Structure 1
Amino acid sequence: MVITKRGLVLGATALVLTTVGVTGAGIHLSQGQALFRESPKEIVDEVWQIIDRQYVDGTFNQVDWRAVRKKYLSRSYSSKEDAYKAIREMIKPLDDPYTRFMDPKQFKDMQIDTSGQLIGVGIQLAQDEKTKKLVVIAPIEDTPASKAGILAKDIILRIDAKSTEGMDVNQAVQLIRGQEGTPIRLTILRGDKQLVFPLTRAKVEVHPVRSSIQKDSQLGSVGYIRLNQFSANAPSEMRNAIKNLERQRVAGYILDLRSNPGGLLYGSIEIAKMWLGEGAIVSTVDRNGESDRQVANRTAVTNKPVVVLVDGGSASASEILSGALQDNKRALLVGTKTFGKGLVQSVRPLGDGSALAVTIAKYFTPSGRDINKLGIKPDVVVELTEEQKKALSADRTQVGTVNDPQYAKALQVLKQEIAKTGNSAASTTAK
């Protein structure tokens, strides 16, 4: 199983954004594929076939999968919409929130070009596997949601006047999207309090990497890198950020993965190679027990000490990167336990322009840890109080500064690590 393909995704969430100027995503239908438009039943069978061949659980959650095919192919479908409804019904017994069907519009919305303009409120959603509630994994920085104070782990109770009871992520995304400048109200449950957030949909510019120099009286310069998501251009932006900070002779790094919901699998592997000179990065195992192991290849951009910030919003690809650095003793983790998503999805375009995201494998950290539903425990735990979370949300300029308690602790840990290694701003970099 080749796991570096760009089609493999690890994101635990859906982005509540709408692309501007998205065309057909480069997908062209053959004559045979075009027949799906005339035969909705064929798209139902295509979805069944993909799951039958690739789904990670060979028992299909103890479901008789062949009986499922017989049941749904015995029906007549008068329209594609009828077929779409049947597909969602068909895959529901798998009880896997990450295996999901997307109609053509939803598929196009998923194909977000991060170098372009987006329209939305800027939140990342997931459905809690146990409660089925819609949970905010993370607000995207400098968006209407983050500026209004929406936080990770907030539960969305209502979208405008509509209750989210029984609503899946796709339905929520459809309701939250809209035209730029239009209003929307989200009712949030935070702890035992209900909060109402009036928001205005806006253009959102998403750059996955932000970096800066932080001055310290003892260390001189510290490189601070915040990675927001593992999008297609995250590896190139990360490499440029590290090289730029190396030129400025930083003493060490704080890599901030807090509220990073994940993204493309290859991105986490490529970025891990920038920090790791050698050692395993991740192993994936499909339902047949076939595994693929990715290792560093001596292409690290720096060998200077690094501390990684994580929290409950650090998911999937973030957990691969932080797990690899922790297991290889390349970095210490500071913050709170990560989200706990150890599953890999493949997004398969279907004949009529729709698509299926199907869970095809589990992944394990280099030491063999299965972190699914368990998360990764940081080496140094630093919890934020509600007041601290609100203060940082209200003034995002304080994130990644000494006024950010988790960052302040990470800086303290970094100083200790630099003292152990005798590293300094004049140290040579890894080739």
Structure 2
Amino acid sequence: MPGTTRVIRRHLALGLVFGVVCLVGVGTGAWGGSETAPRSGSADAAPRSGDRWAVTYTREQFAGFTEELSGHYVGVGLWVVRRPSGEVDISRVLSGGPAARAGVAIGDRLLRIGAAPVDGLPVTEVVALLRDGGSGSTVRLTVRHGLRQREVLLRRTVLDADDVTVDKLPGGVTWISLDAFTEGVGKRVAAAVRGARSGTGVLLDLRGNSGGLVDEAVATASVFLDGGPVARYRPQGGGSAQVIAAARGGDTTTPLVVLVDGGTMSAAELVTGALQDRGRAVVVGSPTFGKGAVQQPAAQPDGRILEHTVGTYLTPEGRDPSANGLAPDVLVPSSAGAEAATTTALNVLDDLAGDDGPAR
């Protein structure tokens, strides 16, 4: 686990902020409620410890999650979102992945994984059902598109996590969408922003971002800041909060809007809170998930790996995301849909580009 150890040492056990639990390419999105549930297989929550985020893995499972943080994962190449009603929809399909080749499409409703109905399941459990079995194993999905229901048999494989998507929109807007904070994300964001300086602004889309490596989250925030606090880390059991600072030399002039929703969690909330508290960006969308807990892996006598909470991160102004998530500056209710949130964000960015941008 060299990557995990490196991050823990660098940031006082701020190694993985929920990234190893559900960093996907198989399932992220708007998490209905704030509950977690035991994962299928040998990974399970540990409610008796009083730690709502605690989870144990076999060494093989943990090795797989650690591999994801390097930008690879075993899966079928789809993302899911859970509606308030408990229904599970497919929100994104990886081009060229097993799901895409089988004709699974954005907007399809996911009904069953194997024989198990998914309605009402926490997204964590949906992810576990989609992934369990390893590369080369198969999984049968029942999906519905409109009135048509069908079954598809998909073979899990090792996929590259396409965690950064950069699009140039008419009018000079650079749209950067981040699905997770895996290795190298900060550098890719920095390169995209360098190319955006001649444009009208940047839309940083963190919807459905389940977190990842704190180093990469800090590096991403640093792209837009010139030093100063990104977050404050408060160890469990007391002690004074310790400042995590941005690198100097970031772009502080390009107009910036951050787009969030109920699936924006953990390390993504760290970035959102930093840019919001520092007055660097206008945050648009619906309230974020609400997870400021920080986990550290520890080997157990039986050979399994326990991820347990070791502290909490706060925004630069001392807000705890775990309370109720982070409230956007411009609210677009989730019921309005993703397209409405995107349109609002672009309108806000257009207004910023016409002014001098947000306060620095």
TM-score bucket (shorter structure): 0.7 to 0.9
Equivalent residue for 1:363?
313
Q: Is contact 2:25–2:73 with CA below 8 Å preserved after alignment? A: yes
CA distance in 2: counterparts of 1:356 and 1:315, whole angstroms: 21
Aligned AA for 1:300?
A: G
Which residue of 344, 355, 359 corresponds with 1:409?
344
Q: After superposition, where does 1:416-427 map in structure 2 within 5 Å?
A: 416-421=351-356
CA distance in 2: counterparts of 1:228 and 1:365, whole angstroms: 21
Cα distance change of structure 1 residues 169 and 296 upon mapping to structure 2, 3 Å threshold: closer
Equivalent residue for 1:159?
113
Structure 2 runs not aligned, ≥5 long: 1-7, 27-40
- RMSD over equivalenced CA pairs, Å: 4.2
Q: In proportion to residue count, which structure has more helix?
A: 1
How far does residue 265 in structure 1 lie from its aligned partner after superposition? Answer: 1.5
Cα distance change of structure 1 residues 100 and 137 upon mapping to structure 2, 3 Å threshold: farther
Counterpart of 1:321 in 2: which secondary structure?
A: helix
Cα distance change of structure 1 residues 361 and 157 upon mapping to structure 2, 3 Å threshold: farther
Which stretch has the larger CA shift, 114-123 or 305-314?
114-123
Counterpart of 2:165 in 1: which secondary structure?
A: strand
Cα distance change of structure 1 residues 244 and 263 upon mapping to structure 2, 3 Å threshold: same
Counterpart of 1:299 in 2: which secondary structure?
A: coil
Aligned AA for 2:205?
A: D
1:321-357: CA deviation from partner (whole Å, max 9, x where unpaired): 0111111111001111111111111123457763221
Aligned residues: 327
Aligned AA for 1:224?
A: W
Cα distance change of structure 1 residues 286 and 238 upon mapping to structure 2, 3 Å threshold: same
Larger Rg computed on CA atoms: 1
Q: Is contact 2:44–2:57 with CA below 8 Å preserved after alignment? A: no
Give the structure-2-normalised TM-score. Answer: 0.74
Cα distance change of structure 1 residues 352 and 279 upon mapping to structure 2, 3 Å threshold: same
Equivalent residue for 2:141?
185
- Asked if 1:313 is matched to 2:263, the reply is yes
CA distance in 2: counterparts of 1:171 and 1:311, whole angstroms: 19
Aligned AA for 2:220?
A: I
Equivalent residue for 1:324?
274
Which residue of 10, 17, 31 corresponds with 1:10?
17
Q: Is contact 2:210–2:267 with CA below 8 Å preserved after alignment? A: yes
CA distance in 1: counterparts of 2:78 and 2:177, whole angstroms: 17
Which residue of 146, 164, 175 corresponds with 1:224?
175
Equivalent residue for 2:219?
270
Cα distance change of structure 1 residues 11 and 338 upon mapping to structure 2, 3 Å threshold: same
Cα distance change of structure 1 residues 123 and 94 upon mapping to structure 2, 3 Å threshold: farther
Equivalent residue for 2:29?
none
Counterpart of 2:223 in 1: which secondary structure?
A: helix
Which residue of 309, 313, 325 corresponds with 1:375?
325
CA distance in 2: counterparts of 1:256 and 1:168, whole angstroms: 20
CA distance in 2: counterparts of 1:422 and 1:379, whole angstroms: 14
CA distance in 2: counterparts of 1:4 and 1:303, whole angstroms: 28
- Asked if 1:260 is matched to 2:209, the reply is yes
How far does residue 98 in structure 1 lie from its aligned partner after superposition? Answer: 2.2
Which residue of 200, 209, 217 corresponds with 2:154?
200
How far does residue 271 in structure 1 lie from its aligned partner after superposition? Answer: 1.2
How far does residue 114 in structure 1 lie from its aligned partner after superposition? Answer: 5.9
CA distance in 1: counterparts of 2:113 and 2:357, whole angstroms: 54
CA distance in 2: counterparts of 1:5 and 1:115, whole angstroms: 21
How far does residue 298 in structure 1 lie from its aligned partner after superposition? Answer: 2.4
CA distance in 1: counterparts of 2:310 and 2:80, whole angstroms: 21
Equivalent residue for 1:121?
76
How far does residue 315 in structure 1 lie from its aligned partner after superposition? Answer: 0.6
Aligned AA for 2:233?
A: T
Counterpart of 1:241 in 2: which secondary structure?
A: helix
CA distance in 1: counterparts of 2:87 and 2:53, whole angstroms: 13
Give the structure-1-normalised TM-score. Answer: 0.63
Cα distance change of structure 1 residues 346 and 422 upon mapping to structure 2, 3 Å threshold: closer
Equivalent residue for 2:235?
286
Q: Is contact 1:121–1:201 with CA below 8 Å preserved after alignment? A: yes
Aligned AA for 2:232?
A: S
Cα distance change of structure 1 residues 118 and 362 upon mapping to structure 2, 3 Å threshold: closer
CA distance in 1: counterparts of 2:267 and 2:209, whole angstroms: 8
How far does residue 308 in structure 1 lie from its aligned partner after superposition? Answer: 0.7
Structure 1 runs not aligned, ≥5 long: 19-83, 128-132, 189-194, 390-403, 424-429
Q: After superposition, where does 1:326-341 map in structure 2 within 5 Å?
A: 326-341=276-291
CA distance in 1: counterparts of 2:218 and 2:264, whole angstroms: 16
Q: Is contact 1:148–1:199 with CA below 8 Å preserved after alignment? A: no
Cα distance change of structure 1 residues 137 and 103 upon mapping to structure 2, 3 Å threshold: farther
Cα distance change of structure 1 residues 384 and 98 upon mapping to structure 2, 3 Å threshold: closer
Equivalent residue for 1:209?
164
CA distance in 1: counterparts of 2:174 and 2:124, whole angstroms: 36
Equivalent residue for 1:354?
304
How far does residue 240 in structure 1 lie from its aligned partner after superposition? Answer: 2.1
